[in-house]
A and B are shown apart, each in its own frame.
Chain A
Amino acid sequence: MQSVTLTINGKPVTAEVEGRTLLVKLLRETLGMTGTHVGCDTTQCGACTVLFNGDAVKSCTILAVQADGGDVTTIEGVATGEELHPVQEAFRTHHGLQCGFCTPGMVMRAIDLLAKNPRPTEEEIRHEMEGNLCRCTGYHNIVAAVQAASGQTPIGH
């Protein structure tokens, strides 16, 4: 076991982990933060996406020890009190979710995308969100939500 210290959603957190402990396991099982989901075991679905030092990463494929000393933002950390983050609000308004399983990862990926490219084209949104799969296949409204969150007219409106 080794000790790691991370900043998670702005708060310092110290925990004992094994070398093989994945960041998502630390979040969900040790810290009880179950907003970050696990949808596959092949690093493909993106349900586990969090921000690590400002970049979207798949928390199922990064060791907690690799993340030691870093800054992590999860879905639990994006709203301000009762007020949803603009990307969350856009997903709500534009029905960017059906069962909601993929949504935390979609929202975190979209936040990263818009931080780096504030007005992406539809094509850029589709390319940049390729690492997030929606089993309900609601991609159309997900793209619309990201467009709306970036202040653009959503497709189909």
Chain B
Amino acid sequence: MYEFDYRRAASVEDAVAALRASGEAKILAGGMTLLPTCKMRLARPSQLVDLGRLQGLKGIEIGDADVTIRAMTRHADVAASAELRRALPALAGLAAGIGDAQVRNRGTIGGSVANNDPAADYPSACLGLAATIVTDRREIAADDFFQGLFQTALAEDEIIVAIRFPRPVAAAYEKFKNPASRYATVGVFVARSASGVRVAVTGASENGVFRATAIEAALQGSFTPDAAATIRVPSKGLASDFHGSADYRAHLIPVLAARAVQTCLSQA
């Protein structure tokens, strides 16, 4: 690792000020992506601004219409929340399947969403559930937030403080995981709500998380596993690597969507 200054943020405002003071400063949340990147010398921040002591950025609130998870809530806490398991089991289950136990004991939802790794799990839940990303200064719809490979709508000095998920009628996440890292080779999040069906896909595209609109349309007509399974997804623009070809990923999308629909139906 290259040298850097370490600063423990006293408040969100303090962290924003630190980012403004130096263009090379970076927020440190759970460190499960940023520290390995620094260790490989792929990042060279001048300063790490640690949000770890800000208790106000931790916690889960379950409302009648939505669930709010604050940015520094760890994957392990999301997975273990009994209230969330009742209110939005798909999200608790998604968190339980991230990485491994030690990673879940440090990694945070805010860090994962800010990072927007094309194979990360949370972005699919945000897009699938039409979540709102709440920052220190504004609210951003998930549809506008994720802007391609590791790209988001966040300004350089902007900090995520919470994610708000509308409560669906039913939702499910199915991941075909990379057996070594547990990142998604393909992951499909299906959510059914009063306003319709949304299907978000992670892991598959070279451009990060996206909505499978053809599957959404089919499920809008008939919310059954078969309706999802019979859609052919074009492989153009999908990722191809030694974990799977673009054709293989294209094949997995309807297969996983159908499984997620099955899980949704069993929740009703």
Contact = CB atoms under 8 A, between A and B. Distances in A.
A97 interface: no
Interface of A: 2, 18-20, 41-44, 46, 49, 52, 55-58, 60-63, 65-66, 109, 112-113, 128-132
A109 B101 contact: yes
Interface stretch (B30-38, B55-63, B120-128, B133-141): B30-38
B211 interface: no
B48 interface: yes
Contact of A63 (B31, B32, B99, B102): B31
Interface of B: 1-6, 8, 28, 31-32, 35-36, 38-40, 48, 50, 52, 76, 99-103, 105-106, 180-182
A46 B38 CA distance: 18
Given A20-B1, A42-B36, A57-B106, A62 B31 contact: yes
Nearest to A69: B53
B102 A58 contact: yes
17 contacts: A20-B2, A20-B4, A20-B38, A41-B36, A41-B40, A42-B40, A43-B36, A44-B180, A46-B100, A49-B102, A58-B102, A62-B35, A113-B101, A128-B101, A130-B182, A131-B101, A131-B103
A131 B100 contact: yes
Contact of A131 (B2, B28, B102): B102
Contacts of B40: 41-42
A128 to B, nearest CB: 5
A20 B37 CA distance: 13
A56 B6 contact: no
Contacts of A113: 101
A130 B100 contact: yes
Contacts of B181: 44
Given A41-B40, A61-B32, A46 B1 contact: no
* Residue from B4, B28, B52, B101 whose CB has the most chain A CB atoms within 10 Å: B101
Contact of A46 (B36, B102, B180): B102
B85 to A, nearest CB: 15
B6 A109 contact: no
A58 B182 CA distance: 17
A100 B28 CA distance: 33
Contacts of A128: 101
A61 B6 contact: no
A56 B101 contact: yes
Contact of A43 (B28, B32, B48, B52): B32
Nearest to A50: B102
Nearest to A49: B102
Nearest to A108: B102
B103 A43 contact: yes
* Residue from A41, A65, A129 whose CB has the most chain B CB atoms within 10 Å: A65
- The 6 A-B pairs at the shortest CB distance, nearest first, are namely A131-B100, A19-B6, A55-B105, A130-B100, A20-B1, A131-B102
A109 B4 CA distance: 30
B106 A62 contact: yes
Nearest to A19: B6
B201 to A, nearest CB: 24
Nearest to A63: B6
Contacts of A42: 36, 40
Contacts of B99: 131
